[in-house]
Amino acid sequence: MADGGKVVDQSFETTVGLYRDGKVNRRGLIKAIVTLTGGFSAAQVFMESTGFTGGFWATLEAQAGGVDTETIHYTSGTTQVEGYLAKPRGAGPFPAVVIVHENRGLTDNIRDVARRFAAEGFVALAPDMLSRTGGTAALKTPQEATAAIARLPTLPALSDLREGFTYLSKHASVNPQRISTVGFGWGGWRSFSLATMAPTLAKTVVFYSSTPDDGLANIKGPVLAHYASRDRAITGNSQWTARELKRLGKTFTFYIYDDTDAGFFNDTAGPRYSATAAKLAWTRTLEFLRG
């Protein structure tokens, strides 16, 4: 047994190395680990023993628990915006979330987040905010995606996001009165901005994100923010955000997570990922959206 365990450990390290190098995607990593350990339950125990859990098991549970996914397109002006849609099986209507990705584009991690929301009973739409420039899939590296996102004009990108909200509001499986948004980093500011543009948006959740300078008076629903303690420039702005939203009579709740950096929720972010903070932020997000 000891020798067998050592072989699994070595194979696991090799597989994770391939994943971190971008040679194996998330689904491939999950499949490989389940194969190595002989089944889902054994794989879960093994992964928990390594501390390398994150959203992988949520993905498997989503697939096993009746979640459908598809690539969709909707129109924004003259642009066809591509999006990843994950939803629970059944007629609904379900609550929904517009997920706005970080400055790496529509990645496997964001697709995983969409599946996790769907497993919790939400229709989740993650638009590819790089659709105007050919889409995330057309880029070879995360650095290329970051550079492309930096060049995106703000207003057209916000229009693409608002049309995503409109797409969900007309979806047969969605309760149009319970559509919220969740944004990460670069996408957090856009989620905040969507709340200023869409008065029927139910709730807003932002992760380690800056706050729009204007339009906050237009926000109707409550806002929840998650900040990283070491992300000082952004997190320091939380105090201004809290004061300003209070002055405007808005509901704003925020948390600062100890010993964390921006990206702590992203389980593909290497040392920036914090399993403890991510789990707590996820629980708080679900409670907030369901409340």
Same domain, 37 and 85: no
> pLDDT per residue over 138-167, tens digit each?
998 989 999 999 999 999 999 999 999 999
* pLDDT class of 13 with cuts at 50, 70, 90: confident
Q: Mean pLDDT lowest for which of 60-64, 96-100, 230-234, 262-266?
A: 60-64
Q: Which domain holds residue 164?
A: 66-290
**Does the pLDDT at position 1 exceed 50?**
no
Q: Are residues 29 and 80 in the same domain?
A: no
**CATH assignment of the domain containing 155:** 3.40.50.1820
Residue 61 lies in a domain: no
Give the whole-number percent of the chain exceeding pLDDT 90: 69
Q: CA-to-CA distance for 80 and 62, rounded, in angstroms?
A: 28
73 lies in a domain?
yes
β-pair partners for 182: 99, 205
pLDDT > 90? residue 128: yes
- State the average pLDDT over residues 101-114: 93
**Domain shared by 107 and 17, yes or no:** no
Residue 128 within any structural domain of the chain:
yes
Looking at residue 270, what is its pLDDT?
A: 86
Residue 175 maps to a domain: yes
Residues 6+ apart with CB under 8 A from 233: none
* H or E segment and range at residue 100: strand 94-100
Q: What is the pLDDT of residue 33?
A: 75
Pair (23, 144) in one structural domain: no
Residues 213, 255: one domain?
Answer: yes
d(CA 55, CA 21): 19
57 lies in some domain: no
CA angle centred on 160, ends 197 and 109, rounded to 5°:
105
Residue 99 sits in the same domain as residue 24: no
Cα–Cα distance, 158 to 199 (Å, whole number): 15
Long-range contacts of 142-146 (CB under 8 A, 24+ apart): 142/104, 142/105, 142/107, 145/103, 145/104, 145/105, 146/103, 146/104
Q: How far apart are CA 262 and CA 273, in angstroms?
A: 9
Q: Quote the longest CA-to-CA distance of the chain.
A: 64
- Claim to verify: residue 128 and residue 201 sit in the same structural domain: yes
* 60 occurs within a structural domain: no
Tell me which residue has tokens 């990108």.
157
d(CA 13, CA 32): 11
Q: pLDDT (tens digit, 9 = 90+) per residue, 222-269?
A: 999 999 999 999 999 999 999 999 999 999 999 999 999 999 999 888
**Residue 43 and residue 186 in one domain:** no
Residues 79 and 220 in one domain: yes
Count the domains in the chain. Answer: 2
**23 pLDDT tier (thresholds 50, 70, 90):** low
Which is more confidently placed, 39 or 61?
A: 39
pLDDT at 67: 87
Q: Same structural domain for residues 7 and 115?
A: no
Same domain, 28 and 112: no
Mean of the per-residue pLDDT values of the chain: 88
The answer to the question of residue 240 being in a domain is yes
Q: What is the spatial distance between Cα 21 and Cα 34, in angstroms, rounded to a whole number?
A: 20
Dihedral angle of Cα 14, 17, 21, 24, to the nearest 10 degrees: 60
75 plus 130 within the same structural domain: yes
| Confidence class for position 119, pLDDT limits 50, 70, 90 | confident
With respect to residue 58, please indicate whether it lies within any of the assigned structural domains.
no
DSSP per residue, 8-26 = HHHHHHHHHHHHHTTSS-H
Q: Is the pLDDT of residue 62 over 60?
A: no
Q: Which residues contact 100 (CB under 8 A, 6 or more apart)?
A: 126, 127, 129, 161, 181, 182, 183, 184, 186, 187, 188, 190, 191, 194
